[in-house]
Amino acid sequence: MQLNPEILNKLTSIVGESYIFTDIETRNHYGHDETEDYVFPPNVVLKPANTKEISEILKIANEYKIPTTPIGARTGLSGGALSIYQGIGLSMERLNKIIEIDEQNLQVTVEPAVITQVLREAVAEKGLFYPVDPSSQGSCWIGGNVAENSGGARAVKYGVTKDYVINMEVVLPNGEIIWTGANTLKNSTGYNLTQLMVGSEGTLGVITKIVLKLLPQNTHNVLMLVPFFKASQACEAVSAIFRAGIIPSALEFMERDAIDWTLKYNDNINITVNDNVQAHLLIEVDGNYPEILFSEAEKIMSVVEQFEIDEVLFADTEDQKNALWKMRRSVAEAVKSNSIYKEEDTVVPRYVLPELLNGIKKIGNKYGFKSVCYGHAGDGNLHVNIIKGEMNDENWEKEVPKGIREIFELTVALKGTLSGEHGIGFVQKNFMDIAFSKVHLELMERIKYVFDPNNILNPGKIFPDEV
C-alpha cells in the first residue's frame, strides 16, 4: 500500500519530524525479526513517545484503515512483529521506563520497551524476583514477552509471563485507552481481559504499561548437568524427578547435536562430552536454604542414577553456572549460525516427551530432514530446529512443511499444542486448524472483530489464511 502525503503529515504532527521514518534502510531494519530470514518492511516507521501519541496514531490508522504492527525488540521467533501488509511499523522503543518498583506490594509497573534482564536486575537490587527469563532475556523486551506469553527456563517452577501480569494499560485499535484489570493478586470482577490480552500477539491492542507481581528473591541455587547415553531416557527422567516430589527451578533438555554445535559456536565454554552421550539434562533447584538444596540435589541424583548416565557435573562456582547457562541459551544462535533452519515450539504433557521426540525423528526420516531438539523439558516444551543443510530449495519449501504439519498433528494427538512460548504469529498460522475446530477459530476471529473491526492491528497473524 501507499501512504499519501496527507496521512504522513498527520502522523508527523503526532510524533514530530524526528520520529517518523520512510527511508528504506530504517524500514528494512524494522521489517525483520529473528524469524528465519523474513523481511517485511512497513511503509513508515513511527517512534511515539507515550500512550497519548499511540492513541492518536491508532485513530488515524483506524480512520484510513492502515495496517499497523506494534514492533518490540524484534527477537521474536514466530514473525509476530513483521509488517506483512506494510502500513505503519509502530516501534515501542521510546516507552522504555521502569515506572515504579512497589516494594510494599511486591509489584512493578513498567513500560513495554524495558529489556527483560534489565527489569529482572532492577527488581533484584531491591531483593525482589521477577522469575520469567526467556533465553533472549538480554535483548527481548517485557512488552514482547507479554504479547507472546513468553516462558523460559524457570517457567517449570515459576510459571510464564501470564502468571505475573495483573494489570495493563492498553490502547485499543480505535484509540481508546483502558486498564485491563486492577493492581490486585486476586480478581473476580468481569471477564479477564488481562489474560485475553496476554499472548494475543499485538492483534487486540497496543500494550503501553504493564503491572507485574514479584516474589521475594531467592538466595541460593544448585546447578547440575546430567549426561544420558540415551536421549529417550533423558526425557523419561524428567517426569520421574517430579514424581519424586521435587519441583526444579529449571529442567532443560539438549540433544547431542545441540551441545556439539553450541560448543563449536562458543569456543570459550570448557566442557567435554563423552562420545556415547546422546543428550543432557541441565537441572537447577533454588531456594533460601543451601542444606535443603543439597538434599534435593541428592534426591535428583538418586532418580537419574536409575538411568544410563555418564558422570554428573555440579557447577561449583558462579563462573561455571554462567558457562552452563550460556551453553543452553546460545543453542538457537549456534544452530542458526550453522544452517538455514525453521524452529517449531512444540509443547506436550511432560510425560509423553519421549514419544514426541521419537515421533519427530521418524517424521524427519520420512521427509528427509535433520532436526536438532532442545528446550524446557520440565514443561514438556520442546524446540525443534529443522535444519536445511544441503537440502534443495524445492524440498525445503514443499516437503518440509508437510513434515512440520505431521509434527504438529503428533503434538495435538498427545494432548499438546502448537506453541508453548513463541506464539503463532506469521509462520505457524496455517497450522491452527490442527489445534482448533472451525467453531473455535471463528470464536477467536469474532473476538478479534470486537476489538478491531477494521482489522488494522497486526493483520495477517495468528489466524489461518482460510478459516
Candidates 19-27, 40-48, 310-318, 415-423: pick the segment binding its own copies (CB under 8 A).
Answer: 415-423
Q: Applying CB under 8 A, what is the total number of residues that bind its own copies?
A: 87
Which residue type occupies 271? I
Q: Which is nearer to its own copies, 334 or 377 (CB)?
A: 377
Pairing of strands 206-213, 107-110: antiparallel
Minimum gap (Å) between residue 91 Cβ and its own copies:
22
Q: Which is nearer to its own copies, 163 or 308 (CB)?
A: 163
Pairing of strands 44-46, 88-91: parallel
Three-state secondary structure call for residue 224: strand
Minimum gap (Å) between residue 85 Cβ and its own copies:
20
| Binding positions for its own copies, 122-161, rule CB under 8 A | 127, 148-151, 155-156, 159-160
Q: Pull the grid cell for residue 59.
A: 485513530
| Binding positions for its own copies, 22-51, rule CB under 8 A | none
Contact 51, 85 (CB under 8 A): no
322 is an interface residue for its own copies by CB under 8 A: no
The maximal CA–CA distance of the chain, rounded, in angstroms, is 71
Q: Which is nearer to its own copies, 19 or 408 (CB)?
A: 408
Dist. CA 149–CA 445, nearest whole Å: 19
Q: Which is nearer to its own copies, 213 or 342 (CB)?
A: 213
Candidates 46-54, 117-125, 199-207, 308-316: pick the segment binding its own copies (CB under 8 A).
Answer: 199-207
Q: Which is nearer to its own copies, 138 or 349 (CB)?
A: 349
447 is an interface residue for its own copies by CB under 8 A: yes
Candidates 62-70, 309-317, 342-350, 394-402: pick the segment binding its own copies (CB under 8 A).
Answer: 342-350
Candidates 20-28, 327-335, 336-344, 377-385: pick the segment binding its own copies (CB under 8 A).
Answer: 377-385
Among 63, 93, 163, 308, binds its own copies (CB under 8 A): 163
Among 118, 196, 273, 301, binds its own copies (CB under 8 A): 196
Burial (Cβ within 10 Å: 0-12, 13-18, ≥19) of residue 316: exposed
Three-state secondary structure call for residue 3: coil
457 is an interface residue for its own copies by CB under 8 A: no
412 is an interface residue for its own copies by CB under 8 A: yes
306 is an interface residue for its own copies by CB under 8 A: no
Among 130, 367, 374, 451, binds its own copies (CB under 8 A): 451
| Binding positions for its own copies, 97-116, rule CB under 8 A | 102-107
Three-state secondary structure call for residue 121: helix
- Beta-carbon-side half-sphere exposure of residue 86 (alpha carbons within 13 Å): 7
Dist. CA 235–CA 357, nearest whole Å: 9
Among 71, 140, 347, 372, binds its own copies (CB under 8 A): 347
Pairing of strands 206-213, 165-171: antiparallel
Question: Can you count the helices (H) and strands (E) in the chain?
Answer: 16, 18
Minimum gap (Å) between residue 71 Cβ and its own copies:
18
- Nearest by Cα to 381 from 241, 192, 238: 238
In this structure, how many other beta carbons lie within 10 angstroms of the beta carbon of residue 438? 9
Those residues with Cβ within 8 angstroms of residue 375's Cβ, 6 or more apart along the chain or in another chain: 252, 253, 381, 382, 383, 420
Minimum gap (Å) between residue 122 Cβ and its own copies:
17
Among 22, 139, 192, 337, binds its own copies (CB under 8 A): 192
Candidates 65-73, 134-142, 189-197, 273-281: pick the segment binding its own copies (CB under 8 A).
Answer: 189-197
Beginning with the edge strand found earlier in the chain, give each strand of the sheet holding 341-347 in spatial order.
Answer: 313-314, 220-228, 279-287, 250-255, 370-376, 381-387, 341-347
| Binding positions for its own copies, 203-262, rule CB under 8 A | 204, 215-217, 239, 242-243, 245-247
289 is an interface residue for its own copies by CB under 8 A: yes
- Nearest by Cα to 303 from 220, 352, 245, 364: 245
